[in-house]
Amino acid sequence: MDVINHLSRLTVETADWQELVQAISDKCAEAVGADRSFVALVDEDTGDLHIHAVTGEGWTDERRLQRLRVAAGGATWSDDGLALPKNSRGITGHVAETGKTHLARNVAEDPYYYLFFSDVRSEIAVPLIDENGVTRGVFNLQSLEIDHFTSDHLSFLEMVANLTVMRLMIARFQARQIALIELGKDLSAITDTTMLLRRVVDVASDILRFEHCSVFALDPERKELILRATRGPLAEHIGVASYRVGEGLTGWVAQTGEPVRMSNPAGDPRHKGRYQELPSAQIGAFLAVPIFGRSSVLGVLRVMRRRSNAPWFHSEFTEDDESVLSTIASQLGAALESNRMIDRLMATERMAAWGEMSAKAAHMIGNRTFAIKGDLNELEYVLSEQEDKRDVFRELAESIRRGIFRLEEILQEFRDFVRATQITLSEEQINDVVKQCLSESFPRRLGVKLNLELAPSLPPVPADSSRLKRAFSELIENALSYMLEGGALTIKTSRADPLEAQRLCGLTRSRQYVRVEFSDTGPGVPDSDKPRIFTPFFTSRAKGMGLGLSIVKGILEAHHGNIVEVGVEGQGAKFVAFLPAKSD
């Protein structure tokens, strides 16, 4: 019982799973006097047994890393390196297949034993079976003596196996909970629907091991479910693959709001199989759950698992799997609803901005037009006189020219504001964009010192270089306008800290970002102005309509990035922009 108590403490106190499995193997071999032992765990994708921990002499790297195939037609290996007959699976495979403990008092007389180490005389193997009756692995101990293991040893090892399975299930549960928490944080921060769906697919496929995952979003006008995100063969059908509501298992889930979980979808009369991540014969499990909004189904989240190589291994999704996927779908539904509300709010704000812009632009254009008309009237009057007044002509012509130039500025700001979110992406190096921008917009003869700190080997960014240069030029011009008597402008690029991107701009931590900083030695932004500097028509300068920084923010947001001002009043302004790096 002291050994059991010790192992119980280990299962609670040891955080690293690999370290725990090795400790269990070592301690059990010592407790029962075994010469060798190993713990093999099932690969959920293939049904193969992978050796995770070994104890005793004779284990080489090749033996440690090899797979013990327990599927029909699998093979083990003799200690001379030769493959054994293909119909062999050994005691370990037999225990994995039957889910029953096996005690071989004399391996030479055991019908299931196949040579692995030539000096083994007796062997005992215990299955690791979870709460769903699925074999998760096998615990195997060997002795150089005939009839070494007893029934007491068997009872002891069964208790250890139960402890091991319990810890395995706890580790799996903890990993899933952490994944769901992190996913929830990401979904609350991501405002781009495409990124949102892609993140769900990545988590479901990689972290939660649902293997093949797809999201079908409901188009309420067409009453069709459109594939919006997936991993694998269906990737080329994104935006094209669709099911009518009620069509196939996917459409049935959307129509009824009920989940579907089965092992053989092709055998179900509702099955259509129009778009599948796997061929029907290879599907070992199918699970689809509805994505609920506040009042209706927004889509369907579905996963498939490949049929295991091992006929004995059950690859079906469990109730726990369904619960986890439903939780993800619930988080996704809430995020989609939130994004829709944000989109509606932004549309409303933009319409209000359009109205305000129209009124202000009309007022400013009216003033310029009135002034130009006055100059033209004066010009007509002067022309009606006989005496030569060329100086007056020149003055009036210059005034008209300035008025027309100002009209062009107003119209250009108007166009830039409208086009800020209209971008065409290509792969760009941010350092090159910064250099091009400086060569085009930074004055050469100016009493402002330029400091460039461009980090090498930055990942490329999906960007519209012309729009980014427009945004960066605005930030440069803004800084220079406050340093007319000289100063310094520093531009830095670097890899962003995802935590900083999330803290400053609410961006998701699941992506990598490139950071671009513009800092100057001007007066800085007053604290009272900071909440409004990106608002359309807010300006502290006489020039312009106050659209410059709102255009900058619109361009950054169109790139799925963001910008924030973090300078200290009296010590200069500091604008920090984040742009998503290209995904691997």
pLDDT in tens, 278-331: 777 777 788 999 998 877 889 999 988 887 766 666 678 888 888 888 888 888
Whether 119 and 243 share a structural domain? no
Q: Taking Cα atoms as reference points, which of 100, 84, 81 lies closest to residue 92?
A: 100
Q: What is the rounded distance in angstroms from the CA atom of residue 278 to the CA atom of residue 211?
A: 11
Q: Does a structural domain hold residue 55?
A: yes
Which residues, 6+ apart, have CB-to-CB distance to 121 below 8 Å?
Answer: 106, 107, 108, 143, 144, 145, 146, 148
Q: Does a structural domain hold residue 378?
A: no
Residue 85: predicted pLDDT: 43
> Looking at 138-152, 407-421, 493-507, 565-579, which range is the least confident one?
407-421
Residue 451: predicted pLDDT: 93
Residue 272: predicted pLDDT: 82
CATH of the domain at 298: 3.30.450.40
Single-letter code of the amino acid located at 219:
D
Which helix (H) or strand (E) element contains residue 538? none
Collapsing DSSP to helix, strand or coil, 525 comes out as coil
- 478 and 520 Cβ atoms separated by less than 8 Å: no
**175, 203, 230: which is the final residue of a domain?**
175
**Residue 559 structural domain:** 420-584
Whether 143 and 9 share a structural domain? yes
Q: Across residues 475-492, what is the average pLDDT? A: 89
Percentages (nearest 5) of helix, strand, coil residues in the chain: 45, 20, 35
Collapsing DSSP to helix, strand or coil, 32 comes out as helix
Whether 148 and 197 share a structural domain? no
Q: Does a structural domain hold residue 139?
A: yes
Query: What are the beta bridge partners of residue 39?
Result: 53, 139
CATH of the domain at 435: 3.30.565.10
Single-letter code of the amino acid located at 45:
D
What is the C-alpha radius of gyration for the chain, rounded to an integer number of angstroms?
A: 35
**107, 141, 175: which is the final residue of a domain?**
175
Whether 431 and 292 share a structural domain? no
- 278 and 306 Cβ atoms separated by less than 8 Å: yes
Q: Does a structural domain hold residue 395?
A: no
Sign of the C-alpha dihedral computed for residues 169, 175, 180 and 181 taken in this order = positive
Q: Does a structural domain hold residue 511?
A: yes
Q: What is the rounded distance in angstroms from the CA atom of residue 257 to the CA atom of residue 301?
A: 12
Whether 126 and 198 share a structural domain? no
Whether 135 and 275 share a structural domain? no
Q: Does a structural domain hold residue 388?
A: no
Whether 169 and 205 share a structural domain? no
Whether 136 and 214 share a structural domain? no
CA 509 to chain CA centroid, nearest Å: 8
Whether 50 and 194 share a structural domain? no
Q: Does a structural domain hold residue 408?
A: no
Residue 78: predicted pLDDT: 42
Single-letter code of the amino acid located at 262:
M
Residue 106: predicted pLDDT: 93
Q: What is the rounded distance in angstroms from the CA atom of residue 520 to the CA atom of residue 553?
A: 19
Q: Is the pLDDT of residue 81 over 50?
A: no
As to burial, measured by CB atoms within 10 angstroms (0-12 exposed, 13-18 middle, 19+ buried), residue 73 is exposed
Which helix (H) or strand (E) element contains residue 55? strand 49-55
Q: What is the rounded distance in angstroms from the CA atom of residue 27 to the CA atom of residue 336?
A: 51
Write out the two tokens for 583: 């995904």
**Pairing mode, if any, of strands 461-463 and 426-428?**
antiparallel
Whether 113 and 233 share a structural domain? no
Q: How many domains does the chain have?
A: 3
Threshold 0.85, pTM exceeds: no
Q: Does a structural domain hold residue 429?
A: yes
**335, 359, 392: which is the final residue of a domain?**
335
Q: What is the rounded distance in angstroms from the CA atom of residue 167 to the CA atom of residue 359?
A: 67
The band of 370, judged by pLDDT with boundaries at 50, 70 and 90, is: low
Whether 190 and 168 share a structural domain? no
pLDDT tens, residue by residue, 341-360: 555 555 555 555 555 555 55
Q: Is the pLDDT of residue 174 over 80?
A: no
Whether 148 and 225 share a structural domain? no
Portion of the chain with pLDDT greater than 70, in percent: 73
Q: What is the rounded distance in angstroms from the CA atom of residue 103 to the CA atom of residue 126?
A: 9
| Average pLDDT taken over every residue of the chain | 79
Q: Across residues 8-34, what is the average pLDDT? A: 83
